[in-house]
Amino acid sequence: MKRIICDGDALGSMRFDEGVEPTARPDECLVRVHSFSLNRGEVAMAGGCPKGSPIGWDLAGTVETAAASGGPPVGTRVVAFSARMEGWAEQVAIPVDCLAEVPDNVELGMAATLPVAGLTALYCLEKGTRLLGNSLLVTGANGGVGLFALRLGSLMGAHVVAQIRSAAAEQLVRDSGAQNVVVTEDGSGCEKYGPYRLIVDGVGGNQFGALLPLVDKAGVLVSYGVTGGASAQIAIHPDLFGGPGQRSVYGLNLYSERELAPISEGLSRLLPLVADGRLRSHVDREASWDETPQIAADLLERKFSGKAVLYTS
């Protein structure tokens, strides 16, 4: 069975390998993979994982062997999250609570972009309250999570503000639902449209400290990534708890969120939005999975926005 594995110590280093066909547990389906999408998180981890480790969270395909415990029958088109990071392979064993049936009018390649980016955006937004008519700031807004957050924030009725690093992405984020755009690498300028009921931040670093004072009373800053660095300097007082109303900071991790609600439930909420055209992923790259190492490198180097989808055949 052909699969992609981590290879060496270099960031994003990976290669193809012949592995053993997976054996499904009673609560797992065996899925024949049609396509998968890339996320910065897993690609960045490829160099730090033990050599020979499998890789890949997001996938879509067809049930080849149904789970003994129940679930979708053979032939069902599904999208799934591989919690064991085994998704970039010809076949994958997936627990039934980590997959959802794909509607007939949704392409599998499009569905494959949903698990990590779509669910992360959804769960980030749901940490906010009273978004209707209030301001939402999405940082790193032209990334996979950011673009989903813009679209979902618009559907929730928020006044959506996008922060991006380059003006080249401005039209993309506006097309995705941003009503205002701030081009900055350090958070400066975002105060113009604040304070914010919710900030969805995937950048971290020094920008994190600049964003905290922009959170409105009883608002929340949700951090789901640290592409700008894992350390930040913040003023605890008054930025965090000064003045009336308590501001909150929430660190979001999809594995932890999975303990609150199954992946299948979240995917089943997103898929109807895709099916009726209200939610769509921006897919910048589509290619054979033979090109995965190069496209992964391009992702790390920020050579494209949104998602990349790779096809196994």
Tens digits of residue pLDDT in 253-298: 999 999 999 999 999 999 999 999 999 999 999 999 999 999 999 9
Lowest-confidence segment of 22-26, 58-62, 80-84, 241-245 by average pLDDT: 241-245
Q: What distance in Å separates the CA atoms of residue 39 and residue 120, rounded to the nearest whole number?
A: 11
Tell me how far the alpha carbon of residue 56 is from its chain's centroid: 13
Using alpha carbons, select from 191, 194, 180, 187 the residue that is nearest to residue 135: 194
pTM confidence score: 0.95
Q: What distance in Å separates the CA atoms of residue 153 and residue 122, rounded to the nearest whole number?
A: 9
Contact 4, 88 (CB under 8 A): yes
β-bridge partners, 28:
95
Q: What distance in Å separates the CA atoms of residue 282 and residue 285, rounded to the nearest whole number?
A: 9
Structure confidence at residue 148 (pLDDT)? 98
Q: What distance in Å separates the CA atoms of residue 291 and residue 97, rounded to the nearest whole number?
A: 30
Structure confidence at residue 46 (pLDDT)? 83
Q: How large is the average pLDDT for residues 105-117?
A: 98
